[in-house]
């Protein structure tokens, strides 16, 4: 009776540790992550890229721009982008887990804006997919 329960408990503990170790190893060896902070030159490009992908997310932030026309009138342009939080976004046949984080209690010294980062995670071992994404983001932001 007691020995059997002890064996079952030990087996459950070992299987739990094995499962946690397996999950950690899978994250470490099967997933790639790129962190882009608002201190990096590519951050505005990545936000612009996220704006282009914004229609694919249900949790949005808005960036409102006032555009001045040649005749002196102005119009509002609303750019929707995935807001802070987690989003699943497809890009060139891969799925990206995008985590946008903003810390309002911490600001950047240069701009006085809240410290922010975007964390991009995808399956694979070839980081060139991040190069493609950053290159596309830079091209799209300059058009």
pLDDT at 17: 82
Whole-angstrom distance, CA of residue 129 vs CA of residue 143: 21
Q: Which is more confident, 58 or 115? A: 115
Query: What phi and psi, each to the nearest 5 degrees, are found at residue 37?
Result: -100, 165
User: CA-based diameter of the chain, in Å?
Assistant: 89
Phi–psi pair at 142, nearest 5 degrees:
-90, -5
Residue 81 is inside which H or E element, if any? strand 74-82
CA dihedral 67, 61, 89, 100 (to 10 degrees): 120
Compute the distance between CA of residue 138 and CA of residue 143 in angstroms, rounded to an integer.
9
- The pLDDT tens digits for 55-81 are 667 778 888 889 999 999 999 988 887
Q: Is-contact 22 117, C-beta < 8 A? A: no
- Would the pTM of this model clear 0.85, i.e. be above it? no
pLDDT class of 29 with cuts at 50, 70, 90: low
């Amino acid at each position: 009776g007691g020995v059997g329960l002890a064996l079952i408990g030990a087996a459950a503990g070992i299987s739990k540790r094995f499962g946690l170790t397996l999950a950690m190893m899978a994250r470490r060896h099967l997933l790639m992550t790129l962190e882009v902070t608002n201190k990096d030159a590519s951050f505005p490009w990545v936000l612009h890229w996220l704006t282009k992908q914004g229609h694919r997310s249900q949790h949005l932030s808005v960036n409102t721009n006032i555009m001045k026309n040649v005749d002196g009138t102005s119009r509002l342009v609303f750019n929707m982008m995935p807001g802070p939080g987690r989003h699943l976004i497809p890009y060139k046949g891969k799925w990206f887990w995008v985590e946008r984080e903003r810390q309002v209690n911490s600001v950047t010294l240069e701009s006085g804006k809240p410290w922010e980062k975007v964390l991009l995670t995808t399956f694979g071992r070839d980081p060139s997919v991040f190069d493609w994404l950053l290159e596309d983001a830079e091209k799209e932001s300059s058009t």
